[in-house]
Structure 1
Amino acid sequence: MATPADPYTFLPEVPAFTVTSTDVEDGKTLPAPHTSGAFGVPGGEDRSPQLSWSGFPEGTKSFAVTVYDPDAPTASGFWHWAAFDIPVSVTSLDAGAGDQGGANLPAGAVQLKNDGGFAGYIGAAPPEGHGPHRYFVVVHAVDVESLGVPADATPAFLGFNLFGHTLGRATITPVFEQ
């Protein structure tokens, strides 16, 4: 099976900035708490990882955070998390910020339904034996304070709106397989 390309290579190139995490590392296995207990992964807690970012482009007015698996056995990948309208004054999110209901997100931020069907973060749960999956954890620097995306929109619709408003992107890509 061919591995899909980095999904961001198909979008206009924008400057990179830095995202770090005390929970996940680029190219390393996703720790158990960030996998999906809802989908039966042992030790899974469906807890979004801690994230901190810096060096974003001048003119940034808000941020969006997405987690996407392009290796899911679907024609559209799998969206694990999508949050946006995060104020520019916020440059980190604690682990668990993506809990259902969004109570741990900063005021004004909006969280969309993931492909598991609820608004919040759902952890990794690739099919057993399907091989390693990549989880693109991306912080998007946005040129407007609010994207005006409705709370009942899909992550793909958010991505469409980010297309014309992204000033920069910071990425960590952990992996996981069962």
Structure 2
Amino acid sequence: MTENWHDPYAELAQLRDFGSFSVTSSSVADGRPIPALYRSSGQGGSSVSPQLSWTGFPAETRSFAVTQFDPDAPTTSGFWHWAVFNIPTTVTELPENAGAEGGAGLPAGSVMLRNELGQRAYTGAEPPAGTGTHRYFTVVHAVDVETLPVPEDASPAILGFNLHFHTLARAIIVPTATSEDWK
């Protein structure tokens, strides 16, 4: 909701002197409306996860996690659209639709948690009418361990808790959406 915009990652403890690295996407752009393909089916989209590439991460990185979170959802806890972890360091790109149901498009060893809809999949943007512009924090986390101790049935919030203690650096891209984008 536009009147309370904040960066949910700014509230976390400072990273261990590694700062950030770069993430790019051929699917979505920072600060720009999300194209139809990447929106939910309820908004005329296909819930295809965006293509993401990252570079410049710390040499100490042992794995990656990718999350997408909407802090502007009309809840007190936001809305998790996607949460994947234990991505090997040999992988520096996820192709479009890597977040398809069940995770078949993800690298071996990766774990995809259930999103807020209870699906092991990426779910596209669908901000409710009248809730203003929503930001979709799409984050690649450089992690200091190869395997995070997170059960496959955990919530994305539990992953976020573990990432708080194991993230060396983050790369963030924040596309946006409003219900008016697809009227």
TM, length-normalised to structure 2: 0.94
Q: What secondary structure, in the 3-state scheme, does the structure 2 residue paired with 1:164 have? A: helix
Moved over 3 A (4+): none
- Residue type at the aligned position of 2:73: A
Q: What is the aligned partner in structure 2 of residue 47 from structure 1?
A: 48
Q: What is the aligned partner in structure 1 of residue 29 from structure 2?
A: 25
**Structure 1 segments unaligned to the other structure (5+ residues):** none
Q: CA deviation at 1:120?
A: 1.1
CA distance in 1 between partners of 2:12 and 2:107 (Å): 28
Q: What secondary structure, in the 3-state scheme, does the structure 2 residue paired with 1:7 have? A: coil
RMSD of aligned Cα (Å): 0.8
Q: What is the aligned partner in structure 1 of residue 97 from structure 2?
A: 96
Which piece of structure 1 moves more, 96-105 or 9-18? 9-18
- Residue type at the aligned position of 1:147: L
Structure 1 residue 152 corresponds to structure 2 residue 156: no
CA distance in 2 between partners of 1:34 and 1:114 (Å): 15
- Residue type at the aligned position of 1:21: S
- Residue type at the aligned position of 1:34: Y
TM, length-normalised to structure 1: 0.96
Q: What is the aligned partner in structure 2 of residue 128 from structure 1?
A: 129
CA distance in 2 between partners of 1:172 and 1:152 (Å): 27
Instruction: Map Cα deviations across residues 126-175 of structure 1 (whole Å, 9 max, x no partner).
Output: 10121110000000000000002111000000000001100000000000
Would you say how many aligned residue pairs link Structure 1 and Structure 2? 175
